[in-house]
Amino acid sequence: MRFDYLIDKILKEDFKKEPFKHIYIEDFFEEEDFNSIVNNPEITLEKCSSDEELFNKMFDNNYKVISFPGCTTDYKEYIKKHSANEPLTSHTATESAGVVLRLYPKNKTLIELSEFLLSKDFNNAIAEKFGLEYENCDIDGGIQKYLDGYEISPHPDIRLKAATFMVNINPDQKSENLNHHTHYLKFKPEFEYVKNFWAGNPNADRQWVPWDWCTTEFLQKKNNSIVIFSPDNDTIHGVKTNYDHLSTQRTQLYGNLWYKSSNTTYSPSWEQLLIKDFSSKKHNHPNKTLETFKRLLKKSVEIFSKKDLNIGDRKH
């Protein structure tokens, strides 16, 4: 296939260890291939004068609204609120929500690219690189645009996800200066107990946390770059967009390997995992007197139980 050389790049690339184990490759596509992608009319949409015009243009080009974290599928409500600068949120740890649309291409090059992203050869290479059993996974992915307001606060991904990749294919030459890129983060020292709680409680699914619990260590701004990782308790990443999507749109190749099943039985929210200082009126900082308790959590023992947290069976 035309894009098979990308498989060799992935298999030969060394892992980077900060802020967590991942693969990062710049100039992922050869220049000719990359230009044929980002200069394609289905990717480089003409400038619009309103949100409504933008959606109509995307629909005309065979983009479809999809269900996606940090987003709403009610694009009419989104248009109404976004045009009026009214907040639209999807989670207690975020301040905004957007819309994600996936392209079902008609162009030959983009059809070939989409088929490659979903191919066994490509996804098996990712599985092999990260020591996963491809046959035990399902795959999904495609070409996507993320509109203004799209936000996912820091999170490591749920346990059902085996691997994920993101390739920047932004059509705007100045895209690196726009505020819509993926952050790769670490917990601040006072919140590392959350990571250790997840490590010590494999039946507890991992959830989103507030931005101020973490620090950004790397921002994936480079166009034609790919990040790939296998989710673990430390693979913290997030996105918070604030840009003019009428001129250009954040555009990615995005995909996942999903385990066919998960052993999670409960999913504690960040509010339930927060160790609060009840002497404070704001109740939003860990209590320094609970350092001993945190050290116990660092030993990855199961201090919390489902009963202790009073959590019902639920997933997010």
Tell me the pLDDT tens digit for each residue of 136-179: 999 999 999 999 999 999 999 999 999 999 999 999 999 999 99
pLDDT of residue 87: 84
Sign of CA dihedral 92, 58, 183, 165: positive
pLDDT of residue 196: 95
Q: How far apart are CA 26 and CA 29, in angstroms?
A: 9
Q: How far apart are CA 30 and CA 26, in angstroms?
A: 10
Low-confidence ranges of the chain (pLDDT < 70): 276-316
Cβ atoms of 105 and 143 closer than 8 Å: yes
Helices (H), 70-146: 75-83, 108-117, 120-129
Cβ neighbourhood burial of 50 (10 Å; 0-12, 13-18, 19+):
exposed
SS3 245: coil
Helix, strand, coil % in the chain, rounded to nearest 5: 30, 20, 45
Q: How far apart are CA 19 and CA 217, in angstroms?
A: 6
pLDDT of residue 270: 95
Edge-to-edge strand list for the sheet holding 161-168 = 23-25, 226-229, 161-168, 250-259, 137-146, 100-103, 63-66
Domains of the chain (ranges; CATH) run 19-259 (2.60.120.620), 270-309 (no CATH)
Tell me the pLDDT tens digit for each residue of 60-93: 999 999 999 999 999 999 999 999 999 898 899 9
pLDDT of residue 300: 42
Distances (CA, A) of 117 to 134, 231, 240, 285: 14, 19, 25, 43
Neighbours of 39 (CB within 10 A): 10
What pTM, to 2 d.p., does this model score? 0.87
The helix (run of H) or strand (run of E) holding residue 295 is: helix 291-298
Torsion of CA 134, 139, 141, 146, to 10 degrees: -110
